[in-house]
Amino acid sequence: MRTVVDVGLHDGSDTAYYLHRGCRVVAVDADPASIEAARARFPEPLAEGRLTLVHAGVAEREGSATFWLHPRRPAWNSFSREIASREDADPRPILVPCRPFRDILAEHGPADFIKIDIEGHDLLCVRDLPRHGPPGVVSAEHNGPETFDALEAAGYREFVVLDQVCFVPLGEPYARRRARHAELRRRLGSRRLADRLRNRLEGWARLEAELDAFRRQGDWTFPDGASGPLPEELPADAWAPREEAEAALVEAQVALSRSGADPYAVWFDVVARRPA
């Protein structure tokens, strides 16, 4: 059974998907509410030993630190008050236990795949990855060139960049898919408007189904905020050296910026693997 370490449990969407795919999951989160929600949501995997919950923030050293809770969007909970204050929010501080990521891996690893999404602290995890051996594949939210720098320093040489709206790799097929997604969103308008006009717009159900299909992978549909497919479900020809992956990312960022996309609604994950 493959082991996935899900760093940034959040609402459990990624953990649910990894469990559905038959993985053993170690889910890590600093927010005690996320841990308790997962206990209630996943009683059977916990009882069977397929799921382990770790309540801890990732830090350079063991101890405790202030964690900021966004009042409206838990996805923006962070050790960075700036991130937790997005949209002029007034975040609430709590004190949480912290551990170096290497200690968590030593206790619960080795891992076959690690997903990292912890709002500003991703690089603390990447820099603690072992330089050899497992995990062979890791995913981290893109936070600038230093993301690629840290992954290369850990021995990763092949990359896929995923748009976290479409869940497809960058490149020409991605560009067409993203353009279609933007067109659908413009035609459908806001969800609030949709509720009022659903029965009056011709073809509404077809358009909505096509939009939802962007989040579908086989028998699974990814909800908003999910990280997307496991590495083996990515197209074999999507993997590229850093230079190509980074160039495609810059091109996509420029195009999305010119389109006027909400910067908070556009983000990318970098999936990286070591040479075979």
182-206 per-position pLDDT tens digit: 666 666 555 555 554 554 455 556 6
User: Which residue, among 120, 153, 137, has the nearest Cα to 238 in the 3D structure?
Assistant: 137
Q: Which residues of 132-161 are buried (b: 16+ CB within 10 A; e: fewer)?
A: eebbbbbbbbbbeeebbebbeebbbebbbb
β pairing state of 63-69 and 113-116: unpaired
Tokens found for residue 129: 């990855």
| pLDDT, average across residues 177-181 | 62
**pLDDT number for residue 119:** 79
The neighbour count for residue 17, using CB atoms within 10 Å, is 24
Burial of 16 (0-12, 13-18, 19+ CB in 10 A): buried
User: Looking at per-residue confidence, does 45 or 164 come out higher?
Assistant: 45
Residue 57 and residue 38 in contact, taking contact as beta carbons nearer than 8 Å:
no
User: Looking at per-residue confidence, does 207 or 239 come out higher?
Assistant: 239
Residue 139 and residue 271 in contact, taking contact as beta carbons nearer than 8 Å:
yes
Confidence of residue 23 (pLDDT cuts 50, 70, 90): very high
Q: Which residues of 221-243 are buried (b: 16+ CB within 10 A; e: fewer)?
A: ebeeebbbbbbeebeeebbbebe
User: In 3-state terms, what secondary structure has residue 27?
Assistant: strand
Average of per-residue pLDDT values in the chain: 84
Residue 81, Cα to own-chain centre: how many angstroms?
Answer: 20
Distance CA 250, CA 157 (A): 18
